[in-house]
C-alpha cells in the first residue's frame, strides 16, 4: 500500500501533445462530457450530445456499455436526498421578450424592451447595438430592461431574431402602449 500507491500520475507536459488541450464541454450542463452522467439531467445531456456531437456520443455509449445498462443502474440509485445529490440550476421562468411603447411628452415616444436577459444576452451590448441600428439613444434601465428612444417597436420584430439567431419571432410579445 505504501509506495505502489504513490504513483505519479502526470505532472509534466507530455511529449507529442500540444497545449492548450481542447476539452469538450456539454452544452447542457457545461461539464466536460465525461462528467455528464453525474448531472441530474443526464438524459438531457445525452440528447444534446447526440444532436451536436454524434461521434462523441458513440464513444461515450461504448464506454458506459450501452444505454440499457444505464437505465438499470438508475433504478438502483437512490433518487431522493442524501448529501451527494447535485442540485440543478434553477431555470428562470418562461423565456419571453416583451416590447412596448411608452409616450414621452406629447408626441414623442420610447420603446421598452424587457426579457433579453433570460436569453443570456449582454444587455449593454444589446443596447449599444440598438442605438447604432436605429441611430438613436438606447440605454439599459434596471435589471432587465432596455429603453430605446423613438418608436422602433415594429422594426424590433425583425431585427432581434436576425441579430440573435436563438430567438424566434414568436418569443417576442407586443404589449402595445404602456404608461411609464
Partner 1 sequence: MFKKFDDKENISTVQQLKSSVQKGIRTKLVELYPLLEGYIDTILPKKENFRIVKCHEHIEILINSSGEQLFFRQREGQWLPCLKLLHKYPFFLPSEQVDKGAIKFVLSGANIMCPGLTSPGALLTSVDKGTTVAVMAEGKNHALAVGITLLSTDDIIKINKGVGIENCHYLNDGLWQMKPIK
Binding site for partner 1 (CB under 8 A): 1-2, 5-14, 19-23, 29-32, 34-35, 38-39, 83-87, 89, 120, 122, 124-125
Smallest CA-to-CA distance from 125 within 115, 112, 106, 138 is with: 138
| Grid coordinates of 112 | 421598452
Minimum distance from residue 41 beta carbon to partner 1 (Å): 12
Cα 7 to Cα 148: distance, rounded to the nearest angstrom = 62
Minimum distance from residue 82 beta carbon to partner 1 (Å): 9
Minimum distance from residue 120 beta carbon to partner 1 (Å): 8
Please identify, using beta-carbon distances, which residue of 76 and 89 lies nearer to partner 1: 89
Can you give the C-alpha Rg of the chain in angstroms? 24
Please identify, using beta-carbon distances, which residue of 11 and 71 lies nearer to partner 1: 11
Say if residues 85 and 78 touch (Cβ distance below 8 Å).
no
Please identify, using beta-carbon distances, which residue of 108 and 124 lies nearer to partner 1: 124
Minimum distance from residue 180 beta carbon to partner 1 (Å): 25
Say if residues 100 and 177 touch (Cβ distance below 8 Å).
yes
Amino acid at each position: 500500500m505504501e509506495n505502489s500507491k504513490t504513483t505519479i500520475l502526470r505532472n509534466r507536459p507530455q511529449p507529442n501533445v500540444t497545449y492548450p488541450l481542447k476539452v469538450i464541454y456539454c452544452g447542457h450542463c457545461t461539464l466536460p462530457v465525461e462528467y455528464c452522467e453525474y448531472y441530474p439531467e443526464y438524459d438531457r445531456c445525452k440528447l444534446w450530445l447526440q444532436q451536436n456531437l454524434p461521434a462523441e456520443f458513440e464513444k461515450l455509449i461504448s464506454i458506459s456499455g450501452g444505454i440499457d445498462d444505464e437505465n438499470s443502474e438508475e433504478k438502483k440509485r437512490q433518487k431522493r436526498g442524501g448529501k451527494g445529490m447535485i442540485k440543478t440550476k434553477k431555470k428562470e421562468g418562461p423565456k419571453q421578450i416583451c416590447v412596448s411603447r411608452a409616450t414621452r411628452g406629447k408626441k414623442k415616444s420610447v420603446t421598452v424592451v424587457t426579457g433579453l436577459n433570460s436569453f443570456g444576452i449582454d444587455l449593454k451590448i444589446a443596447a449599444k447595438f440598438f442605438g447604432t441600428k436605429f441611430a438613436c439613444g438606447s440605454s439599459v434601465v434596471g435589471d432587465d430592461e432596455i429603453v430605446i428612444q423613438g418608436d422602433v417597436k415594429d422594426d424590433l420584430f425583425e431585427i432581434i431574431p436576425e441579430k440573435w439567431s436563438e430567438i424566434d419571432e414568436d418569443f417576442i410579445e407586443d404589449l402595445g402602449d404602456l404608461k411609464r
